[in-house]
Amino acid sequence: MSDRAPQWVERRLPTEESSQLIALVRDIAQREITPRAAEEEEAGRFPREVFTLLSESGLLGLPYDSAHGGGDQPYEVYLQVLEELGAARLTVGLGVSVHSLACHALAGYGTKDQQTEHLPAMLSGGLLGAYCLSEPASGSDAASLRTKAVRDGDDWVITGTKAWITHGGIADFYTVLARTGVEGPRGITAFLVPGDAAGLSAAVPEKKMGMKGSPTAQLHFDGVRVPDARRIGEEGQGFAIALSALDSGRLGIAACAIGVAQAALNEALGYATGRKQFGRPIADFQGLRFMLADMATRIEAGRALYLEAARLRDAGRPFSRQAAMAKLFCTDAAMQVTVDAVQVLGGYGYTQDFPAERLMREAKVLQIVEGTNQIQRMVIARHLAGPESR
Ligand SMILES: Cc1cc2nc3c(=O)[nH]c(=O)nc-3n(C[C@H](O)[C@H](O)[C@H](O)COP(=O)(O)OP(=O)(O)OC[C@H]3O[C@@H](n4cnc5c(N)ncnc54)[C@H](O)[C@@H]3O)c2cc1C
């Protein structure tokens, strides 16, 4: 095994512009994100200034139309940017993914007027978004949500509690799914709620195992009034919008997971080539070489899977099944690879002196968010059973 661990992967990117984009992201990551990641995660500090910088650099609206301030990039490129950011610090990579998820409803289903009014600030004007689907009593069974929006003249009045909201309490806008009609998926409508709306408040953020710099909080809607002009899509179309957003969002989670796994492999390789036992680098021992080989193989398989799903999406073809597979495989891979990285580092892997333990704690959440991996298996199985069972 070489005594110099590879620092990063070679990417096959479709254009010169996308290669420059990745170079820009690596530069920002090296200068502004990675050096402070461990300390700020420990302190639970959200790096808002990094998101401002990403917005100024055109990196908060990459997969969206440039006519509205987006970057016009294919998903294939956007996801590789997310992978780089996820490797630098998951709070940032996942934060960008959640922000994109929050923009999806308006970009895909808003009227021209709504898009012209709101999208430029959302995609490149420094605003930060959040996506509000989950509630205390409805997680995997999201269609049973209870937050209500009741029509009152030209307004809607929203009442209820959303749970687990990434950027809850610090976001500038919230894409909110609320019940406007019958029980079940057909009675749900999407709204764009400003962060400073009267009656909107956030609870103290959850105390989490990892990703402590990313605030996750309950949001209380106490008669929050929004004009009908902030309803996105048709009444009753909200759940379909939410699912469409999640298909794309899951690919973001998959890409972040591969970033976390790659960071863990880099760490393990660097350590294994430097650490000596029995008079030799531990990387010379077959027991560890096989483990490192498995880690690298999982990462490359995961990357290929999310890129395949992204290319289907870019080609306008169905990609839900592949997105669910990518989310499932890449996040399970990240969990396994980060556990193995801790093992490669031995006792040091179990301390905060090295990033391996943080990466392991961060990987766990990726198996849970945007549909747990049990739910991904349900989605995949439904597709296998044929269109009539979906
Ligand atoms: C850090 C973090 C950030 C998050 N950010 C957001 C956000 O920004 N916006 C948002 O809306 N939500 C967010 N979530 C919520 C997340 O999407 C939910 O936690 C997730 O969907 C699971 O819901 P739940 O926690 O209520 O678990 P439950 O749905 O109660 O599930 C508990 C367990 O039961 C399993 N289970 C449930 N149903 C089935 C079934 N039919 N078959 C087999 N197993 C099943 C699940 O897989 C899980 O293991 C976030 C969560 C976390 C932890």
DSSP 83-103: HHHHHH-HHHHHHHHHHHHHH
The whole-number pLDDT of residue 385 equals 86
Q: How far is the CA of 149 from the centre of ligand 1 (A)?
A: 23
Is the torsion defined by CA of 145, 150, 156, 160 positive or negative?
negative
DSSP string computed for 9-74: -----SSHHHHHHHHHHHHHIIIIIHHHHHHHHHHT---HHHHHHHHHTT-SSTTS-GGGT-----
122-135 residue pLDDT tens: 999 999 999 999 99
For the chain, give me the number of helices (H) and strands (E)? 11, 10
The whole-number pLDDT of residue 390 equals 59
Count how many residues are written for the chain. Answer: 390
Q: How far is the CA of 163 from the centre of ligand 1 (A)?
A: 10
The whole-number pLDDT of residue 377 equals 98
Distances (CA, A) of 245 to 132, 133, 144, 168: 12, 11, 18, 18
Q: Name the residue of 369, 377, 378, 382 to mutate for ligand 1: max ligand atoms within 8 A of Cβ.
A: 369
Evaluate: CB of 116 within 6 angstroms of ligand 1. no
Residue type, position 76, single letter? E
Q: Name the residue of 91, 101, 132, 134 to mutate for ligand 1: max ligand atoms within 8 A of Cβ.
A: 134
Nearest to 11 by CA among 84, 87, 94: 84
The residues that bridge with 131 in the sheet, in sequence order, are: 175
Q: Are the beta carbons of 237 and 312 closer than 8 angstroms?
A: no
The whole-number pLDDT of residue 7 equals 56
Q: What is the pTM of this model?
A: 0.97
Question: Structure tokens of 82?
Answer: 């997310």
Catalytic residues: 370
Evaluate: CB of 368 within 6 angstroms of ligand 1. yes
Which residue bears the tokens 């605003």? Answer: 127
Nearest to 77 by CA among 56, 52, 59, 92: 59
The residues that bridge with 158 in the sheet, in sequence order, are: 149, 224
Q: Apex CA 224: angle with CA 150 and CA 118, to 5°? A: 100
Evaluate: CB of 164 within 6 angstroms of ligand 1. yes
Q: Whose Cα sits closest to atom 27 in ligand 1?
A: 139
Evaluate: CB of 100 within 6 angstroms of ligand 1. no
Evaluate: CB of 382 within 6 angstroms of ligand 1. no
Within a 13 Å sphere around the CA of 14, how many CA atoms are in the beta-carbon half?
Answer: 12
The whole-number pLDDT of residue 2 equals 37
Spans of the chain below 70 pLDDT: 1-8, 387-390
In ligand 1, which atom is closest to the CA atom of 141? Answer: 29
Evaluate: CB of 253 within 6 angstroms of ligand 1. no
Q: Whose Cα sits closest to atom 50 in ligand 1?
A: 164
Evaluate: CB of 273 within 6 angstroms of ligand 1. no
Evaluate: CB of 206 within 6 angstroms of ligand 1. no
The whole-number pLDDT of residue 28 equals 97
In ligand 1, which atom is closest to the CA atom of 166? Answer: 8
| Burial tier of 53 (Cβ tally within 10 Å: 0-12, 13-18, 19+) | middle
Measured CA to CA, the distance from residue 323 to residue 313 in angstroms comes to 9
Q: Name the residue of 372, 373, 379 to mutate for ligand 1: max ligand atoms within 8 A of Cβ.
A: 372
C-alpha 336 chain-centroid distance: 19
Evaluate: CB of 134 within 6 angstroms of ligand 1. yes
Q: Are the beta carbons of 168 and 215 closer than 8 angstroms?
A: yes
In ligand 1, which atom is closest to the CA atom of 371? Answer: 21
